[in-house]
Amino acid sequence: MAQAMDNAGIEITDLSFSYPEYPGLPARSLLDGVDLSVSEGEIGLVLGASDEGKTTLARILGGLVPRFTGGTIGGSVRASGADVRRIPPYDLLERVGLVFQHPDEQIVGTRCDTEVAFALESLGTDRSVMEPRVRDALALFGLSGFEARNPATLSGGEKKRLLLACLGAVDPGVWVLDEAFEELDLSWRLTALDLLRKKGRTALVLDSRWAPVFEGRVDRHAVLSCGSVHGLAADPGSPVLRAAMDASGILPPSRRVATPPGITPAPYLRARGLSFAFTGTDSFSLEVEGLELQRGAVTALVGPNGSGKSTLARLLCGLYEPARGTIEVDRGGGFAPAAAADLNRLVGYLFQDPDHQIFLPTVHDELALSLRASGTRGIDAERRIGEATERFGLPPGGTPPALMSYGSRKLLQAAACWLLGRDLLILDEADSGLSYRRFLALLAELRAGGAGIMLVTHDAALARAAADRVLALDGGRIVADAGPGRFDAALAVGGLTAGGGAS
């Protein structure tokens, strides 16, 4: 148990912050006059679109910014009775715990149990105390039996649960969760919120979208936009708060998105008898009897964490090869078998982690690489790069992707894929870190040319609004296949809703 703290709440007064100027990215004021209070034992929720400063706010609370980034900060920030601006992060471990939006920026171990033990070892915890705390924390977040697993082999949602287990083992007075619920299915979102309430811990949850799961489980709500906090209220139905959420595009869509004009869906890819298992483990296998995806249509692929969504996606784009089964593509002359190399050229894939796909020094370089693959160079390439930059709302071409927000790196991924002009695109949790409005705009750009989309998501509202069809995967098997009007049952089986209700 973490040591008791006096006044274990969060108190932010007149906070301002500007990052220093970087090459290709001029300095700008990100936070300006932020006032926010979360009392001891309360759960606060700060919503905001990408690039509004949520991650920066989280890292200020964790003592990381501006200590390791530079920048100009003003105002007062206190958490668990500590002035976080004056205390080194390693002295805040038992006071403030932080879950990063991007888990691979935080995970350092090669085993799940040693990852959970890392902070306890840093605190000098006795082994007789540490071992049961590690075991209990893993069990609390459904990771019993994962002790020896390398975190690199976990799904995105499992990595988030591992980070929550790390906080659970230390059990700080304040939990700061930066998009920690992204990529989690509904049951684990509920588990995390209910655990915080049961423990009586103070928490600040930062998210890009409002979800009904927050209803009745959050004590204070606010929207971060234009550098300040707006609409702070206990009631999520507060008119001022709802207006602020609506202005930021973070409310769920109210109606289905129509198919773009002039586009008629048509069968494009089909798979039969697919079988796949990872080498060296008997814990997971994928078996798909049949699957068809259409050009011009959106298919949502849903399922609990670890159900095999990313594995299936990587089989369909040729990154993995099935042990058995066939994948066929209709390239204009009827369906014909497609080997992995063919699928690499025909199917675009946006990785769940954008940093697995972005590796060049500037935005311009990343976009130019896609065009080189299609033989486009010179003036035509520059015109297309400018068009992609404008369509996807990217920063200037000289901006280093490493300095862009997680959500903005998702936009860069999408723009690079759009330039490839593939007939089928697989978006693996591409909505993570983006507001509803921004992601639906991204989706519209990708669909405008008639491409088919397979959308891997944990968001029921997004699936209802954007998809023509929902496939639910569980335990490596397709357990539901539903069209419009029949989504609720498929979403419930896929772990996105409770019995078909709101997620």
Residue 271, burial from CB neighbour count under 10 angstroms (0-12, 13-18, 19+): buried
* Sequence-distant (≥ 6) Cβ neighbours of residue 406 within 8 angstroms: 50, 55, 101, 102, 179, 354, 432, 433
CA–CA separation, 236 vs 214, rounded Å?
9
Single-letter code of the amino acid located at 106: Q
Orientation angle between helical segments 406-420 and 378-391, nearest 10 degrees: 140
The arrangement of strands across the sheet holding 324-330 comes to: 285-295, 266-277, 324-330, 335-337
- Asked if 409 contacts 355 with a C-beta cutoff of 8 angstroms, the reply is yes
Using CB atoms within 10 Å of the CB of residue 31, give its burial: 0 to 12 exposed, 13 to 18 middle, 19+ buried: buried
Residue whose token pair is 């082994």: 127
Q: b/e string for 384-412 if b means 16 or more Cβ within 10 A?
A: bbeebbebbebbebebbbeebbbbbbbbb
- H helices of 103-234, where? 112-122, 127-140, 156-170, 186-199
Helices (DSSP H) in 273-391: which residue ranges? Answer: 309-316, 340-346, 363-373, 378-391
215 with 228: CB under 8 angstroms? no
**Tokens found for residue 238:** 């507060």
Cα 47 from chain centroid (whole Å): 14
3 state SS of 74: strand
Residue with tokens 């069990």: 139
Q: Which residue has the tokens 């989706």?
A: 443
Q: How many whole angstroms separate alpha carbon 18 and alpha carbon 70? A: 9
**Angle (deg, nearest 10), helices 112-122 and 127-140:** 130
Q: Residue for token digits 């715990």?
A: 97
Active-site positions read 179
